[in-house]
């Protein structure tokens, strides 16, 4: 597979899953294509703590690669409940830069809503204790998500990004009111995502990150195929106009936002 043309230097893929088998099988080529596209840094996300050693090893082995760890809300019913102490201890690693992904998913996993909420509270406390940003997955749970994030913030402020944001206007505003960030994925480049684009264009540019969530959610022209970090450039080109930016300036702006939120990654 040849790299896509016209790189956007300085791009950051703030959320991908490089340990997943769809990407791990040819990871050297995946990383080479990311570099060719201008993607200098990536955060690979551990979604089950039992796989943290493998995800950590990836981050240790590649320049510009960092990781985050947590228990995905769709997995909490079949995984041991994470503890604050466990997450705090993991966060001491120099390459671990975020807590999560965690959150609420009532689309596929509404029957585990109670344990999802318990897990989310654990991850919020870990973010508060470590100072690392919380990485949130939200689907069909906007009201509970806004409530739990706000309740936690009132106890002790913390930083947070709403990963792969595709929720409603009310949750977007609740997150922005708390000083949180919204992360744009390939979904925003889909033709039928006009409502989402309208929500995003009203968010301040200095609260926007960009990601792939690869191997999922590939943007056009690769929609329906395996996603990979290089394709974050397609999303950047597709959405930059929402903030009256050129793709090059948008890449720089979202990289600066990434550094402001993921301060540990900014230090290298």
| Banded model confidence at residue 30, pLDDT cuts 50, 70, 90 | very high
Name the CA dihedral angle for 61, 16, 226, 233, rounded to a multiple of 10 degrees. Answer: -100
For the stretch 33-73, pLDDT in tens is: 999 999 999 999 999 999 999 999 999 999 999 999 999 99
* CA-wise closest residue to 210 among 150, 244, 261: 261
Domains and their CATH numbers in the chain: 11-266 (3.20.20.140)
Q: Residues 81-105: what's their mean pLDDT?
A: 98
Q: Residues 140-163: what's their mean pLDDT?
A: 98
Kindly state the percentage of the chain with pLDDT values over 70: 98
pLDDT recorded at residue 5: 55
- Alpha carbon of 135 to those of 67, 69, 73, 95: distances in Å? 11, 9, 12, 16
- Look up residue 210 and give its DSSP letter: E
| Banded model confidence at residue 2, pLDDT cuts 50, 70, 90 | low
pLDDT recorded at residue 6: 76
* CA-wise closest residue to 257 among 70, 8, 12: 12
| Banded model confidence at residue 112, pLDDT cuts 50, 70, 90 | very high
DSSP H or E run through 50: none
* Cα–Cα distance for residue pair 172/175, rounded to 1 Å: 5
For the stretch 204-222, pLDDT in tens is: 999 999 999 999 999 999 9
Residue 4 has pLDDT above 70, yes or no: no
| Banded model confidence at residue 175, pLDDT cuts 50, 70, 90 | very high
pLDDT recorded at residue 206: 98
* Cα–Cα distance for residue pair 89/129, rounded to 1 Å: 11
- Alpha carbon of 266 to those of 140, 184, 255, 260: distances in Å? 33, 20, 10, 8
Q: Is the dihedral of CA 213, 207, 86, 147 positive or negative?
A: negative
Q: Residues 187-215: what's their mean pLDDT?
A: 98
* Cα–Cα distance for residue pair 66/44, rounded to 1 Å: 6
pLDDT recorded at residue 265: 96
Residue 3 has pLDDT above 70, yes or no: no
């Amino acid at each position: 597979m040849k790299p896509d043309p016209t790189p956007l230097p300085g791009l950051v893929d703030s959320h991908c899953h490089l340990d997943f088998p769809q990407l791990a099988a040819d990871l050297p080529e995946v990383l080479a294509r990311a570099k060719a596209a201008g993607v200098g840094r990536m955060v690979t996300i551990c979604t089950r703590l039992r796989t943290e050693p493998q995800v950590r090893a990836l981050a240790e082995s590649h320049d510009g690669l960092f990781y985050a760890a947590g228990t995905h809300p769709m997995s909490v019913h079949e995984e041991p409940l994470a503890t604050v102490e466990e997450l705090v201890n993991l966060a001491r690693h120099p390459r671990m830069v975020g807590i999560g992904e965690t959150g609420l998913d009532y689309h596929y996993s509404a029957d585990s809503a109670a344990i999802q909420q318990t897990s989310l509270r654990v991850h919020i406390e870990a973010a508060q204790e470590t100072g690392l940003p919380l990485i949130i997955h939200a689907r069909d749970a906007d009201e509970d998500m806004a409530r739990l994030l706000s309740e936690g913030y009132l106890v002790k402020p913390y930083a947070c990004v709403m990963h792969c944001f595709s929720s409603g206007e009310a949750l977007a505003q609740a997150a922005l009111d708390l000083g949180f960030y919204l992360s744009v994925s390939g979904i925003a480049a889909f033709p039928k995502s006009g409502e989402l684009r309208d929500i995003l264009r009203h968010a301040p540019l200095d609260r926007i990150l960009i990601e792939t969530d690869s191997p999922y959610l590939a943007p056009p022209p690769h929609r329906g195929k395996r996603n990979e970090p290089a394709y974050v450039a397609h999303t950047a080109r597709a959405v930059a106009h929402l903030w009256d930016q050129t793709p090059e300036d948008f890449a720089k702006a979202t990289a600066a936002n990434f550094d402001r939120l993921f301060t540990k990654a900014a230090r290298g």
